[in-house]
Amino acid sequence: MIFSTYQFIFAFLPVTFFVYFLLNRFRYYSIAKIWLVLASLYFYGQGSPDFFPFFLGSVIGNYVVGSCLTRMDGEQRMQKKLLLFLGIMGNVGLLGYYKYTDFFIENYNLLTGSDYALKHIVLPIGISFFTFQLIAFLVDSYRGETKQYDVINYLLFITFFPQLIVGPIIHHAEVVPQFEDEKNLKLNFDNIAAGLFLFSIGCAKKILLADPLTTDAQAFFGNITDSLPMLESWYHSIEYTVSYYFDLSGYADMAIGLGLMFNIAIPHNFDSPYKARNFQDYWKRWHMTLSRFLSAYIFRSVYRKGDKWRNYYIATMVTFFVSGFWHGAGWTFVVWGIVNGVFVCMAAWMRRKNLKFPFPIAFFLTAVGVVGVRVLFVSTTFTDAWNVYRGMVNVGSLGGSVYEIAQHVWGFVKGNAQCTILLAAGLFICWFLPNSRQMMERFKPGWKSAVYAAVLLLLCIMQMNQVVQFLYFQF
């Protein structure tokens, strides 16, 4: 089940919401939480029914391990380390089996000349995201940074349906106290209005912008040839870059909006990343909860404040290697992570040396870099990526004269009018309009915001018969 469907909007959400607050209204607080857990488990089970027993076993198993780590004292240091190691390996092992089995078989066959058959294991939705949350919970339990949560609040932290599938990646310390706060158990009409407003924005991002752009870009990247035209290579690469932002940020907006309806503040995940002036700035704005996790649990495990700058670069490269491998089971993702790491290190080096390009140049170079690494991210093979890069510099494909170039461009734009309008609108929104966080900071409930949200939702509902799956479901 996904947010942008009739089933979710007209059945699951209203029933879950109404029963939860009705139970709270009559002070059945524990039962209300159990109801929300059960509804969230149902939500997940609809998407990955075969994996559901393993998901439930993993969630309960991590609670047992985390509780044991919390209760252990300082004299049991070795036992705690061993238990933490086993807990993390259990999570990594489950993720590895479902996500990387075929990757390792392919590479083993390549290196040894073997011919082991691929397993073609279906990737459970959300496994990459909730695995990070579970690992963070175990590490913090080991560090003594968690308290003994009761099992219901813990289950709410992990399974809360708005963020369960594609994030944002939440931290137990920012969510569990909200579920324990009694004032959050009552209807808050300001939060409901703000949540519906943000949900409508996210839904519009996904259905009205991301879906048609993604469909068009995928048609191009699914049929890569040896000789690609320059205009088409750049157009569809930019198209995919824009669609990825609206797809993932649209999901995040819907998740945050749904959380607000239940009086739970979920952290924002994007802060106008395409306005960045370098890759260090870009990764502070893109998928911020993932960057926060990688910074806290990978980067800071390698780099300590006061270390030499060389260690900073090493820690950055390790972090982006992990990020690349996390995103997908393929060498293209690994190289994508490494290239991003190199760009971030270059930006950090320039900052250290007090070097700075004028903003227009910095912005342009960053934008070109973002499109370039997105090509690597969405290409199935290195050959496909290389052919797209070659197409980007295939100047001869435009024609010989200015008239021929103008005629070629006009013909292409005319033949792709709908997507061109949507792409232009998407770029305008990215560069010139306030982002979702800024809009929420200025939000005031009223008839204007209600009409705005209603119009967006109505337009989305009219298009829900052709919804495209969220891009990050495959990760």
Q: Which of 172, 236, 287, 327 is catalytic?
A: 327
**DSSP output for 372-441:** HHHHHHH-SSHHHHHHHHHHHT-GGGG-SSHHHHHHHHHHHHHHTHHHHHHHHHHHHHHHHS--HHHHHH
CB 173 within 8 A of CB 144: no
Structure-token match 């924005």, residue found:
201
Residue 343: closest CA among 270, 286, 381: 286
> Which parts of 205-330 fold into alpha helices (H)?
211-221, 230-261, 279-285, 288-294, 300-302, 309-327
In whole angstroms, give the CA distance from residue 171 to residue 136. Answer: 8
What's at 129, amino acid-wise?
A: F
In whole angstroms, give the CA distance from residue 422 to residue 417. Answer: 9
DSSP code, position 473: G
In whole angstroms, give the CA distance from residue 242 to residue 235. Answer: 11
Residue 386 sits at the vertex; the CA angle it makes with 383 and 389, to the nearest 5 degrees, is 155
Whether residue 171 lies in the annotated active site: no
Which residues does 272 contact at the CB level (< 8 Å), separation at least 6?
285, 430, 435
What's at 320, amino acid-wise?
A: F
469: left (phi over 0), alpha (psi -120 to 50) or beta: beta
In whole angstroms, give the CA distance from residue 311 to residue 437. Answer: 34
The sign of the CA dihedral 349, 353, 358, 359 is: positive
Known catalytic residues? Answer: 327
